[in-house]
Chain A
């Protein structure tokens, strides 16, 4: 759970002054007349989306369908969801999946120690109370710990990121499907909590396992590619304004070549950003074989890959 989401986790969602406007914006994308407009809004918050990704985001908003993003690690799937939230001014909720995640981790949980404390407090005050009233007071909203999915339903508008769904188990997938279908959660003690507008959901997967077809059918599918040379240069220069044009060109060129080398883990944009950042810190003006060799660890995360790149010659990799 992210820091900003924890702050308001235990309170009722309060619509801001512009709550209504935001809601409409997300509900039918009326603020964005075309994918190009969305791409522009994303660029304003520092995310350069290509044609496909902008269309995907636009369609997800327009049709109210979850967006299923697949692609190599580090191509910006997670950052896209964050940028969508920033651009639309929506509340951002992130659910990171892992093996064995279950409903109590994803939906809600009762705060058992606080419930007990509440009972003790009632006992200590010594006032005779109706048992039914006491019991009812135990299942109050304030004793409910909202986990990401409940939080996403309670906030409006909201961008929900379900990160790395391929790591979760099949059962969790089925459960998620159910929740996405009606954008509502039934809590036996409290009743049904439904979203006024379904959260804009982005699911990401690294393809370590095939996600069930039923879930994919409900979603818009998009394969996120590594950016082309020009776009990567643009991304590098947007994210790292101190980077010179020449260094950005060289880093993007070298990263592109590494991707065509059939490595175990081809570098994504995240890695080339790390690399460019490292070069900046070292005060490099241009990429030469020596400095490339000493910073190779920021861009290649496997020893086998680094060996392979070194064997094929660093000079050839960064040569114009």
Chain B
């Protein structure tokens, strides 16, 4: 392939990268090989070769079409997507900016909370603090319907299974029962257990617009897994509100929690709270 053609294509990939398509060097190399196998003078071939190697999802294709049209001067995209794409994939809202995937096995004590929000949700980019009373009631209702769950972890214990490692103990016991005849291999796998969830809700004065919504979330979590969830509030002291939140009616539950919290909207900072002395560390002085 001529040098200038390569240059043009690499520049095209750079353009796409700046537009948000993940055109990594490896992908660009694939594109060059693909164009080489096709006819570089045919704009359709170049279009397809680039699209198949640089894109990785339907979202990329829309950007690619635009980029291709603008970069290769006035060539309209050969074919857009004629029908609205069914984007089945739920968009997970990762908590606390945890974008990385845990790499070293599932036993690491990381907690993945699968939360998903519909794309059509109008209120999702708005701060709970700025909502009107009616909207807040809506949000409260929606939050209390959330299925707050924790990801399962694999336990150290094993249970019998159809597939998996051979279970020597059970296999030998079965053999002994049948006079030493090994008829079937017993197998086992690791058991999975749900993780426990502990929520610490800040109900101090500065957090008062959010405390209500967070307690609703606590309510949803407690009802999802009553025996494995604990909710505490921290203001000037630590209060366990799990029992109060077990009420079946959300309003009653929140009222009960409010009654149980002695430091609701209190003015002291958590650093002076007797429950967690010295936290957070005061850097001001």
Contacts and interface: CB of A to CB of B under 8 A. Distances in A.
B6 interface: no
A102 B161 CA distance: 13
Contacts of A113: 183
B95 interface: no
A210 interface: yes
Given A63-B33, A207-B89, A221-B52, A55 B185 contact: no
Interface of B is mostly: loop
Nearest to A50: B79
A213 interface: yes
A209 to B, nearest CB: 7
A288 B22 CA distance: 49
A259 interface: yes
A60 to B, nearest CB: 9
A175 interface: no
A65 B26 CA distance: 13
Interface in A259-302: 259-260, 262, 266
B163 A104 contact: yes
Contacts of B26: 217
B163 A102 contact: yes
A102 B82 CA distance: 38
B83 A226 contact: yes
A35 B38 CA distance: 8
A56 B48 contact: yes
A225 interface: yes
Contacts of A35: 38, 45, 48
A234 interface: no
Contact of B38 (A59, A100, A225, A226): A59
Interface in A193-233: 206-210, 213, 216-217, 220-223, 225-226, 228
Contact of A221 (B33, B53, B185): B53
Contacts of A210: 57, 89
A55 B49 contact: yes
A62 interface: yes
B81 interface: yes
B269 interface: no
Interface of A: 34-35, 51-52, 55-56, 58-59, 62-63, 65, 70, 72, 100, 102, 104-105, 112-113, 116, 206-210, 213, 216-217, 220-223, 225-226, 228, 259-260, 262, 266
Q: Which 3 A-B pairs have the closest CB atoms?
A: A55-B48, A62-B37, A220-B52
Given A34-B38, A51-B78, 10 more contacts: A34-B39, A59-B38, A59-B52, A70-B57, A72-B85, A207-B87, A217-B56, A223-B55, A223-B58, A260-B84
29 contacts: A34-B38, A35-B45, A51-B48, A51-B78, A52-B48, A59-B37, A59-B48, A59-B52, A62-B37, A63-B37, A70-B57, A102-B163, A207-B87, A210-B57, A213-B22, A213-B56, A217-B24, A217-B26, A217-B27, A220-B53, A223-B55, A223-B61, A223-B81, A225-B82, A225-B83, A226-B82, A226-B83, A262-B84, A266-B86
